[in-house]
Amino acid sequence: MGSFIFKKNLPWVYLPSARTERNVKPEDNDVFNSFRYMRLSRRRENCWPWRLFDQMGWDIHSPVDVTLEPLIDIEMSAALTEDEVYSIAKTANLSELWRRGESYIAFPSSNWIRLYDFQVEDGWMPMFTPNGQGTIEWNLGWSLDIPESMAVMIMEGDVPLKGLEIPGGIIISKKNRDFTGFSIALDIKERTTIRRGDVIARMIPISKSSLRVQSEFIEM
């Protein structure tokens, strides 16, 4: 199996951090030995199944200080004429229109979503892109080369951020093996302030073969 290669493509990028050897402090087992009754040896850090899970993968960090706010959007057909799109958007007070595939994501003016557009070789790129159903795609600016036999699973961090949900997802597509901006999805439930370096999600390596397992259930 090859290595997972993370590449910092832009100066503001905050690369993920490996979780290996987290929370392992063997000396803490002896902290309570001077007490008559209390002990501290049955910690979860001493449980190998828990420790292996805890050390698996990487923490994903916020690259910026940002205050996120819920996005109330609607999805409109991109088959409409331009006049129809702008007419209904004006009528419904939808000042933002983003083309996503065969649809437009439309919503009232947002005071934060375009503040973090960043420069790339051929122009400017949004860090935050509306994804539909109130979710946002967060471009983190780094690239990831995934070994051919592997995939990565995105999940919430150890301490979920208040007001923010991270929809789970698995990235296996070959086109994502080396790309400019690794993105995760956000579902913003309430106004949330995040600081640069805060852990916003967790990423775990998995084998592609685990996606094709078969099950048998035998009843007595």
Q: What pLDDT sits at residue 111?
A: 83
CA-closest candidate to residue 16, choices 62, 64, 59:
59
More confident: 32 or 208: 208
Domain that holds residue 66: 5-19+57-71+110-211
Q: How far apart are CA 118 and CA 125, in angstroms?
A: 5
Q: What pLDDT sits at residue 141?
A: 94
Kindly report the pTM of this predicted structure.
Answer: 0.88
Residue 98 in any domain: the answer is no
**Number of structural domains found in the chain:** 2
Residue 156 in any domain: the answer is yes
More confident: 23 or 67: 67
> Chain-wide mean pLDDT for the chain?
88
The percentage of residues in the chain with a pLDDT greater than 90, rounded to a whole number, is 60
CATH number, domain at 165? 2.70.40.10
Sign of CA dihedral 132, 136, 142, 144: negative
Q: Is 219 exposed, middle or buried (0-12, 13-18, 19+ CB in 10 A)?
A: exposed
User: Do 12 and 51 belong together in one domain?
Assistant: no
More confident: 16 or 51: 16
Q: Tokens for 203? A: 């990423």
User: Do 148 and 46 belong together in one domain?
Assistant: no
Q: Which residues pair with 103 in a beta bridge?
A: 77, 100
User: Do 34 and 137 belong together in one domain?
Assistant: no
Q: What pLDDT sits at residue 47?
A: 79
More confident: 177 or 168: 168
User: Do 125 and 144 belong together in one domain?
Assistant: yes
User: Do 29 and 66 belong together in one domain?
Assistant: no
The answer for residues whose C-beta is within 8 angstroms of residue 23's C-beta and 6 or more apart is 45, 51, 54
In this predicted structure, the answer to whether residue 45 has a pLDDT above a threshold of 80 is no
Residue 146 in any domain: the answer is yes
Task: Read off the pLDDT of residues 65-124 as tens digits, 9 standing for 90 and up.
Answer: 999 999 999 999 989 888 898 898 888 889 899 999 899 999 998 889 999 999 988 899
Task: Read off the pLDDT of residues 171-189 as tens digits, 9 standing for 90 and up.
Answer: 986 555 545 689 999 999 9
User: Do 38 and 66 belong together in one domain?
Assistant: no
Res. 1 pLDDT band, cuts 50 70 90: low
User: Do 140 and 123 belong together in one domain?
Assistant: yes
DSSP 13-70: ----EE-TTTT--GGGGGTTTTSSS------GGG-HHHHHHHTSSEEEE-SS-EEE--
In this predicted structure, the answer to whether residue 208 has a pLDDT above a threshold of 60 is yes
User: Do 141 and 120 belong together in one domain?
Assistant: yes
